[in-house]
Amino acid sequence: MAGAFVVNAARQVTGSKRFLSRRAASRVSKTNVAARAEAKEPAKETTFFAGDIGGTNARLQVWQVDASGASTLTFEKTYSTSDHPTFESCVADLYKDSEVREADVSAACFAVAGPVADDRCAMTNIEWVVDGPKLAEAFDIGAVKVINDFAAVGYGVLDLKDDEIVTLNEGAAADARGPVAVLGPGTGLGEAMLFWNDERAEYDVVPSEGSHADFAPRGETQRALLAFCEATLGECEIEQVCCGSGIVRIYEFLKEHRGAGDKPELDPAGVTTAALDGTCPVAKEAVDVFLAILGAEAANLALKCLATGGVYIGGGIPPRLMAIIQKGGLLEGYLHKACRYTGVREGFPLHIILNDKIGLAGAKVYAMRQL
């Protein structure tokens, strides 16, 4: 099975011509900036902010775009949320630390871990409210957009470099404007889809709550896992067996199912470490089951949106498990050879995202659209 993998992402991208229009958004933004500069004023740089905000840290960037549309990162800093009573105070420190004048910032986009409505998010883990219109008024920014953190991952796919992915399944030549599926296991399981907008000649990201759909097990072990989850949780969503805590849940189930109650309690990092170094067979099996479930869910999402533009798996967990992923379990779960739709699945390119700043990349893409 390992021979089915090609880990030279640049060569695979060239060979399969996958997702040829993923940079369409940045090309459109560059054209708009250049046209505005030519029509209204002499060529000059435009400044914008991008940010990825979680419960612990706010990673913020300052970018400049020249008249040709080329973007340059000029400043980046991670701020501790505990050091700032409000997000406004964090933005004020960004201005001070980067020495950027308020009058020079034309746009901003902040990806936030929490529900977003009307460019506003009341964060759940800290007492911050990230309010786009209020920020625009307070700091005299032309446009401030607030988007969900996993929607930002979707936009980040549009800005991926060739060496920031590993391709597991080349599939058919990717449709340059075909739908794209994105999912990522981390603290939870995020899912989103991208659809081409003919009117604007760019991709739109459509968030999804697909991770809260019912878990559909395959085989005896997964069916027993479903019963275990229903007995302990009262239900079993896909997310509950396909995220960081899901790995621990699978491990605890297998300890009971395999009569290995003497194995130690482990957190998600402990399970993955024990699986990678081969010190615990139960942990190794837990990771194998997790990857099979992740592969199956990637295929399910691809089938639901006909992801001829490709399927991208992000999140913090898969890159850590590449040594095991390359053995083929995730791809087997994705292709599902026993399924009569295997041929359809084989046609969808499948990639693992290696960039751990994909949310920031997405905020950058979306901010550039406001210029």
B/e letters for 194-203, b = 16+ CB within 10 Å, e = fewer, are bebeeeeebb
Q: DSSP code of 311?
A: E
Percent of the chain with pLDDT over 90: 80
Residue 98 phi, psi (nearest 5): -90, -10
Q: Which residues span the domain enclosing 293?
A: 1-20+162-354
Distance CA 90, CA 100 (A): 14
Residues 364 and 338 in one domain: no
In this predicted structure, the answer to whether residue 253 has a pLDDT above a threshold of 60 is: yes
pLDDT digits (tens, 9 = 90+) for 57-110: 999 999 999 988 899 999 999 999 999 999 999 999 999 999 999 899 999 999
Global confidence as pTM:
0.86
How many domains is the chain built from? 2
Same domain (yes/no): 313, 292:
yes
Q: Is the pLDDT of residue 2 over 50?
A: no
Measured CA to CA in angstroms, residue 324 lies from 149, 171, 272 at distances of: 27, 21, 10
In tens, the pLDDT along 152-174 reads 999 999 999 999 999 999 998 77
Same structural domain, 91 and 226:
no
Shared domain check, 220 and 345:
yes
Q: Are residues 5 and 143 in the same domain?
A: no
- Specify the DSSP element, H or E, that contains 80: strand 71-80
pLDDT of the residue at 175? 87
Residue 39 pLDDT: 37
Q: What is the pLDDT of residue 339?
A: 78
SS3 string, 174-241, reads CCCCCCEEEEEECCCEEEEEEEEECCCCEEEEEEECHHHCECCCCHHHHHHHHHHHHHHHCCCEHHHH
pLDDT given for residue 45 in this prediction: 83
What CATH number did the domain enclosing 64 receive? 3.30.420.40
Q: For residue 348, give the 3-state DSSP assignment.
A: coil
Strand 180-185, strand 310-313: pairing: parallel
